[in-house]
Amino acid sequence: DQQVKQNSPSLSVQEGRISILNCDYTNSMFDYFLWYKKYPAEGPTFLISISSIKDKNEDGRFTVFLNKSAKHLSLHIVPSQPGDSAVYFCAASRHPGEYISNFGNEKLTFGTGTRLTIIP
Amino acid sequence: GAVVSQHPSWVICKSGTSVKIECRSLDFQATTMFWYRQFPKQSLMLMATSNEGSKATYEQGVEKDKFLINHASLTLSTLTVTSAHPEDSSFYICSAANAGTSGTSYNEQFFGPGTRLTVL
């Protein structure tokens, strides 16, 4: 049962254009979402995250949008650069509570990944 | 900061042998470490959650007697694949969650570079 889905296994975008990666989830208990970038034979690197109390979070060239009613989130990269070529995973988790001393202790459920290729 | 290392980075072993993989948080203390497995072109699948000083919590379908996890200190967790078989060949990745640093990014897990296991 794939609770987090990335329906596009691959995406090619011209350098300088916008890359849009999509992610859907089925578990309504998820309320925190993250995007990771991964190169072959390396561990994922955290990119950006968003809490369910927001619908948008922006960090430099990266913006994540969340549509809770549709259970959908997307990552926008603009402008796209050749170094952005990698596999991108979205991940979801549940918020452990408002006040907690240990962050990061909730398990992540990953999507299947989208391979982004930026064409020079 | 927040560097996680894994050792070895790759290992080839004969069927029936046991292989130990180490995951270390180099510059922070991790009360919780996670072990993932990734098969080619598939998502990262959580195998188990490891808490320092207590027994690991395994995901459904993961054999705890086959994948032994030890989290003896706040900076080290080990995964031992016992009596490895060719179907255990995979890319194993650990992640570590920073222990109780209030005000830091919620739910940020730092991933190791992964270990490629090939069982002949």
**Which amino acid, A52?**
S
Q: How far apart are CA B4 and CA B14, in angstroms?
A: 28
Q: What is the pLDDT of residues A22-73, one digit of tens each?
A: 999 999 989 889 999 998 878 899 899 898 889 999 999 999 999 999 999 9
- Interface check B35 vs A, CB under 8 A: no
Residues B42-59: what's their mean pLDDT?
A: 88
Assign A97 a pLDDT band (cuts: 50, 70, 90).
low
> What pLDDT, on a 0 to 100 scale, did the predictor assign at position A99?
40
Strand order in the sheet with B4-7: B4-7, B19-25, B76-81, B67-73
> What pLDDT, on a 0 to 100 scale, did the predictor assign at position B42?
80
Contact call for A108 and B93, based on CB within 8 A? no
Peptide bond into A120 cis (omega under 30): no
Q: What is the pLDDT of residues B69-119, one digit of tens each?
A: 998 888 999 999 999 999 999 999 999 886 555 444 455 688 999 999 999
- Residue A79's H or E segment, with its range, is none
Residues A76-89: what's their mean pLDDT?
A: 97
**Which amino acid, A70?**
A
CB-based contact B50:B62 (threshold 8 Å): no
- Interface check B45 vs A, CB under 8 A: yes
Local structure of A83: helix, strand or coil: helix
Assign A9 a pLDDT band (cuts: 50, 70, 90).
very high
Q: Which of residues 61-90 of B touch A (CB under 8 A)?
A: none
